[in-house]
Amino acid sequence: MSPERATAITEPSLSVSGLECRRGERLVFSNLDIDLQAGEVLQISGPNGSGKTTLLRAIAGLTPPTAGEVRWCGRRIDEGRVEFLRDLAYLGHADGVKAELTVWEDLEVAEALRGGGLPIPDALDRLGLTELADTLGRYLSAGQRRRLALCRILTSGARLWLLDEPFTTLDEAAITTVGHRLEERAERGGLAIVTSHHPLPIDHARLLRLAA
């Protein structure tokens, strides 16, 4: 059996071992270990500057750590890069909304690249964007842009969600909706890591607090 096929059928797991990151000369964190199995959700909290975004970017492979490693389904992410990226849905601080595309067109592109989650109409309905489906991205408010970025995550069938402050500019109803979707993904064996100053609206999330 090929490594690619084995990864495809393996239960998802994420292992972070001895991770260390620096920002210039400043040590952000060191000796950080995380172990997540299928169906688990981890919230990362801590004051500004504690390294929440840096940690998420390191797990996603966007910021090289100065020590330690990240493994997905038992393989280092740099060794199984294609499979890891296929399983990953990442939401950073930037919403990535295309000004020249309508809300619907934006989601069509996302679905073509990484579908398998909620159908587009369902994602729009859950985040209150149905009436804005034909609106160009340039005309969306900050909150609407964030909802659209989250709609992309909802339409994704990725097994690992990395969400950096997903609740920024969202109202309570939208926060609850995202919480419900996190629970649904966990029940189906997905994993999620969420940085947030807000308590996650789910019952079973684990908590990792980073020090300043």
CATH no. for residue 160? 3.40.50.300
- Quote the number of domains for the chain: 1
Q: Residues 115-127: what's their mean pLDDT?
A: 91
Q: Residue 80 contacts by C-beta under 8 Å, 6 or more apart in sequence? A: 3, 7, 72, 73
Residue 66: name the closest of 18, 135, 124, 12 by CA. 18
The pLDDT of 150-178, averaged and rounded, is 89
Q: pLDDT tens digit string along 44-98?
A: 999 888 899 999 999 999 999 999 999 999 999 999 889 899 999 999 988 889 9
What is the span of the domain harbouring residue 79? Answer: 3-209
Cβ-based neighbours of 117, under 8 Å, separated by 6 or more:
123, 153, 154, 155, 156, 157, 158
Give which of 112, 187, 193 is closest to 160, Cα–Cα: 193
Neighbours of 81 (CB within 10 A): 13
Kindly tell me if the per-residue pLDDT of 201 is higher than 50.
Answer: yes
Per-residue pLDDT at 110 exceeds 50: yes
Listed in sequence order, the residues at least 6 apart from 88 whose beta carbon sits closer than 8 Å to its beta carbon are 60, 158, 160, 162
